[in-house]
Amino acid sequence: MTKEINKENEPIIPEELEEVEEEKIKRRRAVRFFESVGIFFLELIKVALLAGITIGLVRYFLFKPFYVKGQSMENTFYEHEYLIIDEISYRFREPERGEVIVFRSPTNPEDFYLKRVIGLPGERVKVEENKVVIYNVEYPQGMVLDEGYLDIGDQTVGSDNIVLGDNQFYVLGDNREASFDSRRFGPIDGSEIVGRTWFRGFPFNRIGVFNAPDYEL
């Protein structure tokens, strides 16, 4: 006599078991894939945030970009050139003669000027006969400033005779006939200085670090 087998209690055959296991494996792989993708994008966001914060801190506390506007510093710097301004050096030392600095306009603090440092605190600066004469402890009789960076034929027009106080600087543009500078608005205070020109990043054929001239004073 043949026994009837209850199909509900029928054991799972090996082939069905393999299909179930394969499905579980696929699900686990899918979960791991999406977890890895999520972790990757999370790390990417962290790196982007860290890079953004780092760049922001560097730009705010150390270096700032500056676009040249106008012709007052030709032929040293031309309009639309891209400069990097070093904001850290002057926290440890004073500006030096010949350095090109960015500072807030004495007449409008929202504007920024690019000029060259000519006179230092405590010195007397005299502009006469198209020359700049510096009087200080080392040269009480005065010394004509040798400005080899000026174009031949450029003239330091106007006249001035001023003694600089503590933390005061006399600044001039290299294009003397087209520069609004200390001959017009007087010396600037050190607190108005943003930083010194350190690097020219554009145009690429003029890229490089800027160094102040070595005056023979």
- Could you list the active site residues? 72, 115
Q: Which string of b and e fits 145-160 if b means at least 16 CB within 10 Å?
A: bebeebeeebebeeeb
Burial tier of 176 (Cβ tally within 10 Å: 0-12, 13-18, 19+): buried
Q: Which residues are bridge partners to 172 per DSSP? A: 116
Strands annotated E in the chain? 63-67, 82-86, 100-104, 112-119, 124-128, 131-135, 143-144, 160-163, 168-172, 188-189, 193-202, 208-209
**SS3 labels along 169-198:** EEEECCCHHHCCCHHHHCCEEHHHEEEEEE
Residues 123 and 164 sit within 8 Å (Cβ to Cβ)? yes
Distance between CA atoms of residues 196 and 89, nearest Å: 8
